[in-house]
């Protein structure tokens, strides 16, 4: 175990926190906690046109919702800040000057149009486009004179012309690239802002990041970054590239597969515990059987050695199932607080409400708790309890039609229920079971039409519980209206 482990999550605040980004953040967080290290959050906001304060807020809120509290970063601080790249430009300028003075980097004056023409020529020839080194041999003094004269330029890194750049990936094993495949990539754009590869390396080195854990779409960046580490005279971190997340059609997860942002799942009523559990299993497994883990168990058991090399498939149905499991495991006070908020948000409960109404709504929520997988499903699952009347679903109407086989049975039932002094669950169960025994019918012959009449549905919680919570007046009114709709007057 290394007490000095330092990992980072470095999103670009140009939109929502994507599921893939959240999984990367989670793997970094769990690795840090498992190794008793530090989890650092850094915002790579040098894309001035697309970075927004709103996106920063969403990312911070979503990470906190997932419980991924950072040890250093925005709103937390730390010894290696600032933690916004836009506030670190002076450091980047110093490092560029060092690289130029050491002749590990050079000024490039090639116009963008010329570079694009050469790129298209390479593509037409079936070659991989790469910079041809036109400005690589320019004397530094001459180049600086052109810069002083205001000539538009970028700065590029000198990649070694021969040999291999290799690294031992903690997930994929030995990975190597021929240096001839790499090009002298841009470190600083013509507008003076750093590129991703440059700023990321400078920041990781200055923040003493020991392990870079990120998506495997970054593998091609790694040899370039290693060359930059060496040019800067910095020690290399260890790299671990986690598998990509795919949709059910095994293409990269995108909006066509459904919601892809953490915020969207949060709004749909998912629990953070379920999201964390499920995202961890996208590429990691402790064994072949266990699927449910507490946060403490994940922190204790997580290891990069058990991260797969293969792409993970995002299965919304499995996530919904897992969320349902976590809802059913919720402590009653926590569940009721969330459920009542959901009822209020959707208008089923209009504030202000008295204690009696809130207690009744809580009983309704607990009754349908087993039926839901998302909190957003709760209002629909419980809607028939609210209001005076219900609309019959087609299947429910078919069930209600069955009452026409025994009209006198349901007339007697309505009369018997109306005479009950106690409309509680024990009294209702005692009466209804005695009633079907006396009439010599199966319980389902009675219960299915009654359920259809009072709920408008063919599926609901137990009929005794439903009748009790509806109350005598509403239950009898709905039963009479339902029976009347199929020609039975009570």
What are the two backbone dihedrals, phi and then psi, of residue 304, each rounded to the nearest 5 degrees? -65, -25
Of 255, 289, 305, 442, which is the active-site residue? 255
- Who contacts 174 (Cβ-Cβ below 8 Å, separation ≥6)? 166, 167, 168
DSSP state, residue 370: G
Q: In whole angstroms, what is the distance from residue 141 CA to residue 153 CA?
A: 15
- The 10 Å Cβ neighbour count of residue 175 is 15
Residue with tokens 């949709």: 247
Q: In whole angstroms, what is the distance from residue 457 CA to residue 454 CA?
A: 8
Q: What 3-state class would DSSP assign to 261?
A: strand
Task: List the structure tokens of 459.
Answer: 């599926």
Q: In whole angstroms, what is the distance from residue 226 CA to residue 276 CA?
A: 32
| Side-chain half-sphere CA neighbours of 336 within 13 A | 12
What is the distance, to the nearest Å, from the Cα of residue 432 to the centroid of all Cα atoms in its chain? 47
Q: In whole angstroms, what is the distance from residue 156 CA to residue 230 CA?
A: 15
Burial of 287 (0-12, 13-18, 19+ CB in 10 A): exposed
Task: List the structure tokens of 135.
Answer: 């400005």
What is the distance, to the nearest Å, from the Cα of residue 23 to the centroid of all Cα atoms in its chain? 8
Does 255 participate in catalysis according to the annotation? Answer: yes
Angstrom distances, CA of residue 105 to CA of 145, 157, 233:
16, 4, 13
Q: Are 271 and 326 in contact (CB under 8 A)?
A: yes
Residue with tokens 């063919």: 458
Task: List the structure tokens of 17.
Answer: 């926190």
H helix count then E strand count, the chain: 20, 11
Task: List the structure tokens of 56.
Answer: 């920063």
- Who contacts 262 (Cβ-Cβ below 8 Å, separation ≥6)? 16, 17, 18, 19, 22, 62, 65, 66, 275
What is the distance, to the nearest Å, from the Cα of residue 78 to the centroid of all Cα atoms in its chain? 27
- The 10 Å Cβ neighbour count of residue 423 is 17
Q: Which residues are catalytic?
A: 255
């Amino acid at each position: 175990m290394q007490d000095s482990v330092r990992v980072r999550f470095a999103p670009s605040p140009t939109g929502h926190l994507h599921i893939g980004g959240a999984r990367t953040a989670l793997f970094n967080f769990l690795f840090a906690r498992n190794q008793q290290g530090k989890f650092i959050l850094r915002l790579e906001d040098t894309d001035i046109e697309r970075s927004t304060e709103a996106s920063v807020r969403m990312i911070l809120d979503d990470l906190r919702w997932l419980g991924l509290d950072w040890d250093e970063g925005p709103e937390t601080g730390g010894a290696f800040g600032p933690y916004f790249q836009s506030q670190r430009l002076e450091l980047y300028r110093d490092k560029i000057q060092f690289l130029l003075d050491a002749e590990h980097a050079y000024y490039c004056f090639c116009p963008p149009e010329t570079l694009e023409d050469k790129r298209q020529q390479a593509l037409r020839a079936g070659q991989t486009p790469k910079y041809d080194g036109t400005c690589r041999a320019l004397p530094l003094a001459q180049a600086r004179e052109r810069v002083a004269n205001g000539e538009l330029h970028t700065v590029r890194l000198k990649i070694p012309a021969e040999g291999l750049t290799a690294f031992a990936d903690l997930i994929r094993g030995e990975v190597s690239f021929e240096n001839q495949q790499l090009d002298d990539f841009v470190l600083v754009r013509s507008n003076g802002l750093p590129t991703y590869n440059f700023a990321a390396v400078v920041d990781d080195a200055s923040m003493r990041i020991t392990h870079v854990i990120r998506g495997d779409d970054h593998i091609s960046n790694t040899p370039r970054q290693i060359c930059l580490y060496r040019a800067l005279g910095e020690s290399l971190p260890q790299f671990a590239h986690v598998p990509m997340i795919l949709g059910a059609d095994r293409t990269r997860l995108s909006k066509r597969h459904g919601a892809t942002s953490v915020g969207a799942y949060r709004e749909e009523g998912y629990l953070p515990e379920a999201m964390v559990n499920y995202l961890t299993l996208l590429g990691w497994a402790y064994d072949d059987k266990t699927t449910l883990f507490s946060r403490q168990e994940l922190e204790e058991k997580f290891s990069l050695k058990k991260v797969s090399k293969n792409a993970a498939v995002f299965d919304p149905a499995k996530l919904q199932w897992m969320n349902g499991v976590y809802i059913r495991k919720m402590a009653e006070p926590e569940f009721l607080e969330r459920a009542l908020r959901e009822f209020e948000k959707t208008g089923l409960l209009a504030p202000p409400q008295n204690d009696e109404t809130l207690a009744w709504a809580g009983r309704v929520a607990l009754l349908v708790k087993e039926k839901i997988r998302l909190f957003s499903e709760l209002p629909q699952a419980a809607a028939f309890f609210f209001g005076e009347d219900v609309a019959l679903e087609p299947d429910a109407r078919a069930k209600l039609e069955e009452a026409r086989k025994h009209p006198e049975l349901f007339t007697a039932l309505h009369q018997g229920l109306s005479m009950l002094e106690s409309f509680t669950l024990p009294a209702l169960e005692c009466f209804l079971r005695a009633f079907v025994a006396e009439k010599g019918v199966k319980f389902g012959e009675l219960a299915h039409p009654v359920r259809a009449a009072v709920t408008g549905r063919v599926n609901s919680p137990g009929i005794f519980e439903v009748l009790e919570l509806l109350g005598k007046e509403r239950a009898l009114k709905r039963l009479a209206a339902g029976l009347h709709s199929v020609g039975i007057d009570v």
